[in-house]
Amino acid sequence: MKHVCFLSILCIFLSSPAVFSAKVPASASDSISVRYYFNPVVKTGTRTAGAQRDLAASISVITPARIQSVPSHAALDAVNTYVPGLHLTQWNVMGYGAAGVAAGKLSMRGIGGTADTHVMILRNGRPDFMGLMGCTIADEFSVDGVDHIEVVRGPASFLYGSNATAGVINIISGKKEAEGFSTRLNAGYGAYNTQDFGLRHSLRKGRWSYNLTAARRSTDGFRKDAKNTYEGNFFTGNVSYALNSKTSMDVNASLADLYLYDPGFATTPKTDDWYDILRWGGDVTLNHRSRYGESYLKWHGNFGRHRFSDGWRSSDRMTGLIAYHNMRPIRGNTTTIGFDLKRYGGHAEGSVAYTEKTILEYAPYIHIQQLLPARLLLSAGYRLEHHDLFGTVSIPKLGLVAQVTQTRTVRMDFSKGFRSPSIRELYFFPSRNEALKPDEIWNLEAGFGQQIGRILKIDAAVFRITGDNLIAPARRASGSGFQLTNVGKIENKGLEIEITAFPSDRAEIGIVSAFIDMKYPIPNMPKRKTSGFVSWRFSGLTLTGTLVRVEDWTGRDSAAPFPNLYPMKDYTVVDLSVSWRFLKTLEAKLALKNAFDASYQAMYGYPMPGRMLMSEIGYTF
């Protein structure tokens, strides 16, 4: 409670015009873009650019300033701080690992929290997950080259298919807007020999633009009883070319080369449990605009090579095609017709060798948005997903947005989420079952948005999620051993709140909070989670504070097939940072992570580090 009080006092102090802004006018660099925060243009929720307030889905946008405010280079750390109803497990200074008991497990609205992927992660609109296990590798998603992140809270399977059961995270690359070159070098050092070196180089010249990044990060880790070092090399690239005034091409690529150790439970520390992970991917996108609408064609792929200390070796891939066309056939109507295709698989060996496995999925879909009288916006979508094994799945969606006033909206959304069984669940390990059907859930939600001048924005959503055929282990009919079957159930109700305030041109204050009632609780998903943040800018100086409070949750151990569940201690973590831009080209930053030295675990059995001081200096030319 004392940490909450501290942040509240800090918010009031930093935002007070009497303290900081009574006599000194804000410069353009000091001011925060209120218009962008209050009504950002987003694309993830509909695959057509539109104002956030016009969408029936609940969407959170993490802006560049908010990404920079998090004292971490992991994209999912920013998502964990700024998105209500979402939680991420952690275990070290940096890094998450892989496999079932590792960190980096995402849950949203009470769905997930395990190695199974119920939250889809996109890079510039292309899906990115491991082709064999169906899971995401959290370590590969850094903020290098990232402009902003859009998060759909709630099922988005009608647009994105399998794995978008609980929501979608779209990590969107930045592009250089001004003509000419720009280069930034940065170096950082902090507690536990944590090191960070990065390079960003970008160009815009005529029809061409590119943005390239490279980074190396490492730490010795803080656990003295175990080996928990981490090394990561990251590369991203974005190249854009305007073929003419109507047609453009984008090429994106990323690579992450990781070597890290799992320190193990505090009761059973490890010194030789390592992960060697290499992942890379990319896409080529053609975009054409004409009087008939907008057409998009994207070829994409992502690949991986994994080696673990227990003898596991695997190689996986996913390739695919995304095509859709946005048109406006009548006044007030936007219709999207699309087709997705992806083929994924690979091979692996552990205690036994697994043969090459591949799966093909494809789906046509349609999404219609129609403006009606009385400021009503009706939307409806339908997807027909086809899978090699279980045939077809119908995925409907229905939404309604009412523009009550120019500053107030009410929305409703009814949608279906589904997840295809992964190759692991179908073919690997003793619990495999080739007769598995997909997870299916139904989501009903209502939302409310209110803007008060240029000072305050409030968004709230209530939801109810149900399902009774989720993939879960069950004892075999013979009584000998266990097998994965469609016996899992879900019945969740919840409330999500986002509040953003701009008490002055230089200050931003925000609170995001979620309350979830789970009839069938899952591990690693808090029933109550609240984040608070404050930012203040003045004459090249930026002060930032974030607070995360996690309450009423359970953890799990590594017992299989049924892990033991343990009540976890509530915790509050406060991070503070200050950055100073000087001499026009230099920037220095100090960050104090876990400023109040809280003793806590963000997943069962793995203590988190105490207070840590990090420093960084950057040079831009």
User: Which is more confident, 563 or 401?
Assistant: 401
**pLDDT tens column, 418-450:** 999 999 999 988 889 999 999 999 999 999 999
CATH number of this structure's domain 2-620: 2.40.170.20
| Segment 223-227 mean pLDDT | 95
> What pLDDT does residue 37 have?
53
Task: Please state which of the ranges 39-48, 307-316, 356-365, 408-417 shows the lowest mean pLDDT.
Answer: 39-48
pLDDT single digits (tens) 357-409: 999 999 999 999 999 998 999 999 999 999 998 899 999 999 999 999 989 99
Q: What is the mean pLDDT of the chain?
A: 90
DSSP, collapsed to helix, strand or coil, labels residue 81 as helix
Structure tokens at 566: 């343990």
Count of other CB atoms within 10 angstroms of residue 26: 17
Stretch (H or E) spanning 17: helix 17-20
pLDDT, tens digit (0-9, with 9 covering 90-100), for 278-289 = 999 999 999 999
Instruction: Give 591's pLDDT tier (boundaries 50, 70, 90).
Output: very high
Short-list 169, 162, 121, 161, CA closest to 364? 161
Reply yes or no on whether the pLDDT at 224 is more than 80.
Answer: yes
- CB atoms near residue 388 (< 10 Å): 12
What is the per-residue pLDDT across 524-534, written as a single tens digit (0 to 9) for each?
A: 999 999 999 99
What is the SS3 assignment for 57?
Answer: coil
Q: Is 67 helix (H, G, I), strand (E, B) or coil?
A: helix
**Residue 569's CB: how many other CB atoms inside 10 A?**
13
Lowest mean pLDDT across 186-195, 256-265, 292-301, 480-489: 480-489
Mean pLDDT calculated for residue range 474-480: 79
Are 547 and 1 in contact by the 8 Å Cβ rule? The answer is no
Please state, in angstroms and rounded to a whole number, the distance separating the CA atoms of residues 88 and 548: 12
Contacts of 102 (CB under 8 A, 6+ apart): 91, 96, 262, 275
Type of residue at 389: L
pLDDT class of 544 with cuts at 50, 70, 90: very high
User: What would the two tokens of residue 16 be?
Assistant: 């007070």
The predicted structure's pLDDT at residue 399: 97
Q: What is the residue type of 198?
A: G
Task: Name the token pair of 36.
Answer: 């962008």
Query: Which sequence spans correspond to the domains of the chain?
Result: 2-620
Q: What is the DSSP letter of 350?
A: S
Q: What is the dihedral of CA 242, 243, 247, 250, to 10 degrees?
A: -50
